[in-house]
Structure 1
Amino acid sequence: MEPRLDYFGNALAGKVLRHINSAAMTLGGSTLPAATQELVKIRASQINGCGFCTDMHTKDAAHAGETAIRLNLVAAWREATVFTDAERAALELAEQGTRVADAAGGVTDEAWANAVKHYDEDQLVALMSLIAVINAYNRINIINRQPAGGYQPGQFG
């Protein structure tokens, strides 16, 4: 599959991506654990069917030391015993925040209350923002039919 256009080489897209990347880099400096950030990006990308982002974030997580068992079980996190309660709360928030059109009212009070048990206010802001940013990237890549499979860790900086 070929992308519909060279989005990443387009000057206007470059301006847009600088802003999105700036937000993403800010989140990388938060106290939200890096492993949790990658798990959330993977799960949202799986839900959205974004092969490019699923490929990228799975490889980045593995490169950072995440285990194959955990990476293979992200899609089935509810049944898996390899995730912490905090990670489960983040994954639930990511799912509900990604599937906002599927549920009346969006994120449930229960999912939010569970996240509040595990994360402080800055971490919650980072988590909410991360969910929004990865969903934006997913949509860009899906609309453009950005192919998956060729990403190498460190490719984009």
Structure 2
Amino acid sequence: MAHSCTTRRLSKNRILQQPASKAVLVACLGMWILTTVAAEAGLPETGKNRTVSFSLQDKNAGDLLAQKWGIRLLPLRSTAAGNMLDFRYRVLDARKSAALFRRETKPYLLHQRSGKVLAVPNTAKIGPLRNSDTPQEGRNYWMFFRNTGHLVSKGDKVTVIIGEFRVEDIVVE
């Protein structure tokens, strides 16, 4: 029995030493990560989407965001030499905006052109690069999204998703 286990281990090692097998393994791992991120992002499932979407192309989007979520969006900008995207908003109603501050809710940014999902970086010493304190009316809050490989550029349209909060067609400045 021990002999077959040794043979099996050797076979696995031989397989992983082949470049094509490593590529397939990396591709499978990448697909699993992408699927997990998309599921955590709360991306809509057909027929089950409870998210209320707002498009900034709608001239009433600002008023609707204030009524539903108690916030006003500030410009989304590229920062840190293009390696981060800085999403900011002003809290108008602390009670309505409280859902955006829940630590267990993971924010995501969807690049509309490519369909790629960008997450908030989680650093070892600081933690997630976002505000998660109790919101206060009249204050501006922020979160950064990792822009690996400068995927998102000025003029691109993105969607920000934080749990059930979803705003589409935000133009990066």
Question: If the TM-score is normalised by the length of the shorter chain, which range does it land in?
Answer: 0.3 to 0.5
Give the TM-score taking structure 1 as reference length: 0.33
Give the TM-score taking structure 2 as reference length: 0.30
- Bigger CA radius of gyration: 2
More helix by share: 1
